[in-house]
Amino acid sequence: MMLPDPASTGLARVRKIEGSALGLRTPAFAPEEGAGDLLEVSLGPHHPSTHGVFRMDVVLDGERIVRLKPVFGYLHRNHEKLGEGTSYLGSMPYTDRLDYLNSMTNNWAYAIAVEKLAGIAVTERAEYIRVILAELSRLLNHTCLAGFLMQDCGCSGTPLMYAFREREKILDLFESLSGSRMMCNFQRFGGCRVDPSAEWLAATRKLVDGYGAFLDEFEALLSGNEIVMARTQGVGRLPAALAVNAGVTGPMLRASGVGHDLRKVDGYGVYPRFNFRVPIGREGDVYDRYMVRMLEMRESISILDQALRGLPGGPILDPKSKQRGLRPKAGEAYGRIEGPKGEIGFFLVSDGTGNPTRYRVRAPSFVNLTILEDLCLGHSVADAVIILGSIDIVLGEVDR
């Protein structure tokens, strides 16, 4: 009575699991012939744990996922086409709205692309400030992610509230520096917009010094919790080969055991001057993805400490740089950085006019989301929710 007729919904075809485009997918679960009817459930776009407006079209055998189709685009805002009609400076505030948790790193990646395109140098003090803000952004992102993930696991808000308590402190820093908590619009071509004052640096120093203690408490609440381990270990395994082939980047890739971090690989900015390590996981499951982020935060604290100590004086903006009416000579450039979610990159093509002729965003959430079905097949609905949570998506960036 309650179940849709497989023939009428076209679900009869589901019994044949199609091969993946990447040719790597091994179906983790195929329903037996003669098993019960399948149930098609639409998780989202209005669902408590799809992190925005995202839909998973799930076909279930009992609670086991037989097929999962990610459906997105509900938050599409024409970002890339807008970029082609907007001046180089005018696109900067739009990048805030891609991954709206990490406007600082989005700004930086875009600034690098334009700087490459127009051949603008960045002052040393600005490079340090960028590193400080990017690492603060990473702390913010990973803390929030852990909170959201635990909310998806079924916590009654406690880890999320602790995460947001700390996030608030970082947002206060962003606000007092840039004027806005989330839409910072802070980086400029050749440097940054505002020079941080001594009080701001002192406040950042205080936050950095206290963050380790917060992480200790947060991890005491979660990392050793038997229920968390039971829920997350062995769930949503991502093999390193699939991760590499699918273009997965960031903590997700590293959790699968691939030590690829653009801060080391590209050594952009002044990262080569800092001493830090890149944690990598072994299993590539949800727990590894969570723990890799926790460990990355410890490294970020160390980077912040070094950057605050070594912050040089000088101007924050290259005097030869130009913001308004920038007309780079014809050419193309790709600027990328290691954002908290993975490789965030901007590809720009200039034809010598004031607007780029092509503006393309390589959004880490979007690329990381493409393997969602591979991770979820054979797991239950409850697992799909936490697997999605562990991928760390922001729909502003996925749909653009």
Residue number, 128 or 162, with CB nearest to another protein: 162
β-bridge pairing 191-192 and 187-188: antiparallel
Q: What is the C-alpha separation between 29 and 26, in angstroms, rounded? A: 9
Q: Least distance from C-beta 226 to another protein, angstroms?
A: 5
Q: Least distance from C-beta 105 to another protein, angstroms?
A: 17
Residue number, 14 or 385, with CB nearest to another protein: 385
Q: Least distance from C-beta 112 to another protein, angstroms?
A: 19
Residue number, 291 or 344, with CB nearest to another protein: 291
Q: Least distance from C-beta 385 to another protein, angstroms?
A: 5
Phi, psi dihedral angles at 85 (to 5 degrees): -100, 5
Q: What is the C-alpha separation between 83 and 187, in angstroms, rounded? A: 17
Q: Least distance from C-beta 20 to another protein, angstroms?
A: 26
Residue number, 178 or 249, with CB nearest to another protein: 178
- Strands annotated E in 135-255: 187-188, 191-192
Q: Is 320 helix (H, G, I), strand (E, B) or coil?
A: coil
Q: What is the C-alpha separation between 290 and 298, in angstroms, rounded? A: 13
Q: Per this entry, what is the length of the chain?
A: 400
CB 241 within 8 A of CB 257: no
Residue number, 55 or 231, with CB nearest to another protein: 231
Residue number, 30 or 203, with CB nearest to another protein: 203
Q: Least distance from C-beta 378 to another protein, angstroms?
A: 12
Specify the amino acid at residue 391. Answer: I
Strand partners, 60: 39, 65
